[in-house]
Structure 1
């Protein structure tokens, strides 16, 4: 299901830095009329506002406070594209003392947060003609890494929910994109010790615009992700994106 951002209003969570900021900039550069920058600290969006003026509208948003998700949907009633970029990472191996606590936190933010976003914005997108819903997953949603086992598990669950959203939201005319970046140059990558192999966040923003125009469900934006995506392509096409209920 193809979607062109030109002339549309968008909302991007975590738009103040890293991947979220790059996504907001790509949407604006490709003709978005407005981007709601959904962030915890409204002042953190000022660099975007300084560049793009009133095309950037900061709104308060915190995955840890579900009421802010509902309020964002109540405020941004004109959006045609929602990008759920915000997420968390706790570096925890499965036998670590804090592994269960880390997983509980990541599930709440990365999975329940996704579900809350979809439930809040699905009616808005439907009312505005269908639009698009973009979820930032990760290569870790397809391949677990021992040092990031709990994060990988949360992203695998988010990817599973995203697949279901593709079907459910597709029925109302909403395009869905599942984004699977590898190491991207962000604070999260720095904290994870991946800075040396990280690639520019702009790859994700530009990749989303292209994936939407091409009607693609999966996006593997960087070289690490593309290597994994090439190996995964057959399964993605023949299982994940196939209608297995047909005889």
Structure 2
């Protein structure tokens, strides 16, 4: 599959990596890009860059009615990018309550699943296409000071594998993107090294072209993936030292 002339839908297009995905798709020649956000007004500056190609769509990924409405408007997509997500930098035991952990599961796991389920028939009717799910290296090794987010991303990785298996027969490529620290959003407060958002998006879109199912953008993610193959317990112990700063 090529990015040029594809028709893409990007969730969470109004911030974080979303705007970088939209801009990269446009620069690589996508025919149309549905930019999705809960508040379409937040997409105004992005849409203004190329209103003939960038189409704003109202979408709340945890609301099945909102997702159904988006499906009715976007019947021509060939590339689905599940980018929307939330994270709160809290531990599992140290968190004062479970409200934010529930939200991370609701958005990162269930929201992504709702969107995959809704758009799978659309991709099938359009010769299979591809799905990109933004996951994270913390899906594979828990980062304790962001423990509940890590757990939600582990669930997202598992659902990605399951969706991949179920959609293989219709020819849909399902990609898990697992960066480590991205130099954007909550990653700004994390220590070096970091990967640029441009590099994350570039490697993710190249995976579509190359048919790669799991991609680890940036040197940090690649090194961690290699260490997980060689000595997973050692990496777990290193990351385990990054504990939350407060207790309930």
8 A contact 2:12–2:18 mirrored in 1: yes
C-alpha RMSD of matched pairs (Å): 1.8
CA displacement at 1:43 relative to structure 2: 2.1
Please give the alpha-carbon distance, in whole angstroms, between the structure 1 residues aligned to 2:122 and 2:143. 36
Distance 1:189 1:51, change over 3 A: same
Distance 1:107 1:186, change over 3 A: same
1:176-227: per-residue Cα shift (whole Å, max 9, x none)? 110011111222323xx22754332111211112111111011111222121
Number of equivalenced pairs: 231
Aligned to 1:178: 176
Q: 1:4 aligned to 2:8?
A: no
Please give the alpha-carbon distance, in whole angstroms, between the structure 2 residues aligned to 1:210 and 1:99. 40
Question: Gaps (5+ residues) in structure 2?
Answer: 232-248
SS at match of 2:49: helix
Task: Give 1:1-247 correspondences, 5 Å limit.
Answer: 3-190=1-188, 193-194=189-190, 197-232=193-228
Superposition TM-score, scaled by structure 1 size: 0.88
Please give the alpha-carbon distance, in whole angstroms, between the structure 2 residues aligned to 1:115 and 1:228. 26
1:40-71: per-residue Cα shift (whole Å, max 9, x none)? 22122222222222100000012343321121
Please give the alpha-carbon distance, in whole angstroms, between the structure 2 residues aligned to 1:130 and 1:47. 32
Distance 1:99 1:226, change over 3 A: farther
Please give the alpha-carbon distance, in whole angstroms, between the structure 1 residues aligned to 2:9 and 2:192. 31
Superposition TM-score, scaled by structure 2 size: 0.87
CA displacement at 1:17 relative to structure 2: 2.2
Question: Gaps (5+ residues) in structure 1?
Answer: 236-247
Aligned to 2:238: none
Please give the alpha-carbon distance, in whole angstroms, between the structure 1 residues aligned to 2:57 and 2:7. 14
